[in-house]
Amino acid sequence: MAEHPHWLKVLQTNDQKMFDMVCDLQDLVTSDNALSRKTKMLMMMLGDAFLARPNGVRILADRARSFGATEEEIIETIQVGYYMGGLSVLFPGLNAFDEVPL
């Protein structure tokens, strides 16, 4: 993981043991195994869209791109979200693209 997000820095400052546990789990979940990192980032991006977390959608879309996700794969992931959850998922999901303000 490159730069830790603010919440993780706060956790590290205040609870090193929990920080280590969170990082270990994050490493386990986001590593290439049966599912690729790219696929996992797309899934996590979709989850953040369902949870209406536009910042998370943007960050995870960029991570998915860094692992090789194409714009078409990101678009299809958002389409699945819209199909399953409607506009309440589409609106935060659009934050995967640069043109949409947070």
pLDDT-derived band at 5, boundaries 50, 70, 90 = confident
Q: What confidence score (pLDDT) does residue 4 get?
A: 75
Q: Is the pLDDT of residue 86 over 80?
A: yes
Q: How confident is the model at residue 64, as a pLDDT?
A: 97
Residue 58 C-alpha from the chain's centroid: 7
Half-sphere exposure of 43 (CA within 13 A, CB side): 8
Q: pLDDT band for position 32 (50/70/90)?
A: very high
Contacts for 13 with CB less than 8 Å, ≥ 6 apart: none
Whether pLDDT at 60 is above 50: yes
- Predicted TM-score (pTM) of the model is 0.86
